[in-house]
């Protein structure tokens, strides 16, 4: 068999313009109106970023924006945590890759070297750019060393994970490894709060870590409630429904305020949990309700025949759910789930406002009151910077979710 | 043998060593009675083909046997175990009955081999290696060993249905229930699935097959059961049905499909 190559189509710039911008009269009119407008907007943005923007305020307060008043002496703990997560992420990526190679579903196998590099650049380019930008604004070596450490740990983890995935480990060893990996975040948490209690986690660090905690905690709760709504037992079904309807009916901000203010009416201040803990609890409760609805939709999208076939081969009700229905349900609603997590990530700034937590947005507004910067309208700069960091995080999550979706083959079954 | 080939049975329960017994089984969907006084026994290694017009309760009947539907009255006994509320009894009966669906219902997120080994590993507690070895033998039997690592979405309808048969066989069931296994298939794939079923029948598997494939019935059925409006109307050998049906409703139905 001879391989036929697709005929290479060459387009001249004129053809491209015609096809993409001036295909019909309406297209032409729209182009003529919108092109100058967007060019002007671009010009304004570029001028702000490169010419008129006064970024010293961000430069001077970078540490405050990122980690608030985290003691300098304990910054190393954050570095260690980030490096450890880099390593962990690398291992997971390596394991996933090895598994896909084993099953012959790894997409990178069909990629040329150039395509692989492009793929990596597309995935990590924005993050890399952001990190370099932040490093350029720092004056100490700590952050740079940390960043290099994270990259090295990530690559090392990827290699180790790839090797582990190829070995046929005996089951007990594999279980121990998985438990070790699962317990790492908790160990790191204790390592961190040992030096700096949760109540003093501030800046972007608060937004990031409380969002992560909320996401991890709300996931099992949301899934359980979604399953509860399909229960045969009226009590469980009723409670799940009431939970969802109650929580969804209350504004998020009001829930946060209640956790901040009203809790003290019911619980003595001495035993009431600290504000970040309350914030995380509210994140969890709130997002779980929305997640439950999303997952419920996913459960409904799995054809009845799947459950019947699973029951017919003798699987227990638990296995039917955990092995057959739930995996397909969760897979079918990945975009909606990630969308909810992105919302939570962004909404963490509301906790800052409602509960007087010194989160990144609060820092961004507080630093404009410093004597060197007061009264100069620099809030535009600090908020732009804040928005940019959140956008990078949210956009990365969104991209990775699309990738995950493609990998798991949603819609191509 | 020849004189018995053309036999009509007064009722559907005259069987010596029954693996499946249905006694006066009723089933309601709300006010609608889908099964009325069903009496049927299926003997060991017997192949019973169930025919009847759409909505006559064929699917409902075989789905009651493995408790995908709950019957409202009467008794169902499979391999000596009576079907009841008792979850243990239900699980035991499901282990003894394999089911093949019109829409295949393979698990799309699992590879072919995982589709087949899932239940043996979880329910029969087989170690992975042994389960996979057994699965490969079954795939040989349904003639698609080379598809083991693929996913259901990558297979043709006929191949998917054969995987579904292998999946059901992997639990080493005493009985196989088929609900219109070829109705969703393109004509050119029907043969390959029927061939596998014929092999099974020759191998001594006890089978209840709901189908419109009259040639299959003629070739392998020991008995044919005709259902209409939730009742068993007529039972006989294939010969009897195709040469000398008794009931008017049977004649009408056969004249429509033959
Ligand atoms: N879950 C259900 N709820 C309500 N009615 C049902 C349900 N399942 C089946 N029925 C009704 O019960 C009757 C028998 O259905 P069944 O599916 O057993 O028929 P069938 O003989 O298998 O028909 P077909 O050849 O179309 O598959 C039909 O009238 C159908 O509408
Ligand atoms: Mg049917």
Ligand 2 center from residue A274 Cα (angstroms): 60
Q: Cα separation of B221 and B212, whole Å?
A: 13
Chain A's closest residue to B172, CA to CA, is: A313
What's the pLDDT tens digit per position in A230-254?
999 999 999 999 999 999 999 999 9
Does A381 score more than 80 pLDDT?
yes
Range of weakest confidence among A103-117, A368-382, B35-49, B119-133 = A103-117
What's the pLDDT tens digit per position in B217-227?
999 999 999 99
Between the alpha carbon of residue B210 and those of residues B14, B203, B213, B225, the distances in Å are: 20, 19, 9, 9
Does ligand 1 have an atom closer than 6 angstroms to the CB of B63? no
Buried b (16+ CB within 10 A) or exposed e, A199-231: ebbbbbbbbbbbbbbbbebbbebbbebbbbbee
Between the alpha carbon of residue B111 and those of residues A28, A162, B55, B107, B143, the distances in Å are: 51, 22, 34, 8, 17
Residues B167, B106 contacting (CB under 8 angstroms): yes
Does B2 score more than 80 pLDDT?
no
Q: State yes or no: ipTM above 0.90.
A: yes
Mean pLDDT across A188-208: 95
- Residue B89 contacts A, CB cutoff 8 Å: no
CB-closest option in B99, B109, B119 to A328: B109
And the tokens for B250?
A: 């049977």
Does ligand 1 have an atom closer than 6 angstroms to the CB of B52? yes
Does A54 score more than 90 pLDDT?
no
And the tokens for A375?
A: 């009264």
CB-closest option in B123, B153, B171 to A413: B153
**Bridge partner list, B210:** B50, B179
Ligand 1 center from residue B55 Cα (angstroms): 5
Does ligand 1 have an atom closer than 6 angstroms to the CB of B120? no
Q: Cα separation of B221 and B211, whole Å?
A: 11
Does ligand 1 have an atom closer than 6 angstroms to the CB of B34? yes
Does B15 score more than 80 pLDDT?
no
Q: In this predicted structure, what is the pLDDT of residue B8?
A: 66
Q: In this predicted structure, what is the pLDDT of residue B12?
A: 67
Does A110 score more than 80 pLDDT?
no
Q: Cα separation of B61 and B232, whole Å?
A: 10
What is the residue extent of each domain of chain A? 68-196, 201-413
Does B258 score more than 80 pLDDT?
no
What's the pLDDT tens digit per position in A21-39?
888 888 888 888 898 999 9
SS3 B26: strand
Ligand 2 center from residue A174 Cα (angstroms): 46
What's the pLDDT tens digit per position in B21-33?
999 999 999 999 9
How many contacts, defined by CB atoms under 8 Å, are there between A and B? Answer: 70
Q: In this predicted structure, what is the pLDDT of residue A411?
A: 43
- CATH code, A201-413: 1.10.3720.10
Does ligand 1 have an atom closer than 6 angstroms to the CB of B70? no
Does B5 score more than 60 pLDDT?
no
Mean pLDDT for chain B?
Answer: 92
Distance from A237 to chain B by nearest Cα, in Å?
21
Atom of ligand 1 nearest to the CA of B69: 1
What is the value of pTM for the model shown?
0.88
Q: What residues flank ion ligand 2 with Cβ within 5 A?
A: B 59
């Amino acid at each position: 068999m001879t391989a036929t190559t697709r005929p290479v189509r060459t387009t001249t710039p004129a053809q491209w313009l015609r096809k993409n911008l001036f295909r019909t009269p309406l297209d032409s009119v729209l182009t003529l109106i919108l092109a100058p407008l967007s060019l002007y907007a671009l010009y304004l943005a570029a001028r702000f970023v490169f010419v008129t923007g006064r970024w010293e305020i961000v430069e001077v307060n970078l540490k405050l924006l990122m980690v608030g008043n985290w003691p300098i002496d304990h910054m190393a703990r954050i570095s260690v945590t980030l490096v450890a997560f880099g390593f962990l992420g690398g291992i997971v990526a390596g394991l996933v890759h090895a598994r896909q190679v084993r099953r012959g579903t790894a997409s990178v196998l069909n990629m040329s070297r150039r395509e692989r590099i492009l793929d990596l650049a597309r995935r990590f380019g924005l993050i890399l750019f952001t990190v370099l930008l932040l490093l350029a604004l720092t004056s100490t070596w700590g952050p740079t060393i940390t960043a290099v450490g994270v990259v090295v740990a990530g690559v090392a983890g990827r290699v180790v994970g790839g090797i582990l995935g190829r070995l046929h480990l005996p089951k007990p060893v594999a279980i121990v490894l998985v438990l070790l990996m699962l317990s790492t975040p908790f160990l790191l948490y204790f390592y961190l709060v040992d030096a700096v209690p949760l109540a003093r986690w501030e800046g972007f660090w608060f937004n990031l870590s409380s969002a992560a905690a909320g996401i991890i905690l709300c996931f099992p709760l949301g899934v359980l409630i979604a399953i509860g709504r399909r229960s045969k037992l009226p009590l469980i079904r009723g409670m799940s429904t009431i939970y969802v309807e109650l929580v969804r009916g209350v504004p998020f901000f009001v829930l946060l305020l209640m956790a901040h203010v009203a809790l003290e009416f019911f619980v003595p201040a001495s035993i009431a949990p600290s504000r970040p803990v309350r914030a995380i609890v509210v994140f969890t409760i709130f997002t779980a309700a929305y997640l439950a609805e999303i997952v419920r939709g996913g459960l409904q999208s799995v054809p009845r025949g799947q459950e019947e076939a699973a029951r017919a081969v003798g699987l227990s009700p638990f296995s039917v759910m955990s092995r057959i229905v739930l995996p397909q349900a969760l897979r079918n609603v990945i975009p909606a789930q990630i969308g909810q997590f992105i919302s939570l990530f962004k909404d963490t700034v509301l906790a800052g406002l409602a509960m007087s937590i010194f989160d990144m947005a609060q820092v961004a507004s507080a630093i404009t009151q410093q004597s060197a910067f007061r009264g100069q309208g620099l809030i535009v700069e600090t908020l732009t910077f804040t928005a940019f960091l959140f956008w990078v995080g949210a956009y990365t999550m969104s991209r990775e979710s699309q990738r995950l979706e493609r990998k798991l083959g949603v819609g191509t079954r | 043998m020849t004189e018995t080939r053309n036999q009509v049975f007064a009722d559907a329960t005259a069987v010596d060593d029954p693996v499946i017994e249905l006694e006066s089984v009723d089933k309601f969907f709300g006010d609608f009675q889908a099964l009325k006084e069903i009496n049927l026994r299926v003997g060991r290694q017997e192949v019973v083909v169930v025919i009847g017009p759409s909505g006559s309760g064929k699917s409902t009947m075989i789905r009651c046997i493995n408790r995908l539907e709950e019957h409202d009255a009467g008794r169902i006994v499979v391999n000596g175990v009576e079907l009841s509320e008792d979850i243990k009894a239900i699980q035991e009966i499901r282990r003894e009955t394999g089911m093949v669906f019109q829409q295949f219902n393979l698990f799309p997120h699992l590879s072919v081999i995982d589709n087949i080994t899932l239940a043996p590993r979880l329910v029969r507690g087989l170690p992975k290696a042994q389960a996979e070895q057994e699965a490969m033998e079954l795939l040989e039997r349904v003639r698609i060993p080379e598809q083991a690592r693929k996913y259901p979405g990558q297979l043709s309808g006929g191949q998917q249905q054969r995987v579904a048969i292998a999946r059901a066989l992997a639990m080493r069931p005493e009985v196989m229930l088929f609900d219109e296994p070829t109705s969703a298939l393109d004509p050119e794939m029907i043969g390959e699935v029927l061939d596998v079923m014929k092999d099974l029948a020759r191998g001594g598997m006890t089978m209840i097959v709901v189908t419109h494939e009259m040639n299959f019935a003629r070739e392998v059925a020991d008995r044919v059961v005709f259902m209409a409006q939730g009742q068993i109307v007529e039972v006989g050998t294939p010969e009897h049905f195709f040469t000398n049906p008794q009931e008017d409703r049977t004649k009408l139905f056969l004249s429509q499909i033959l």
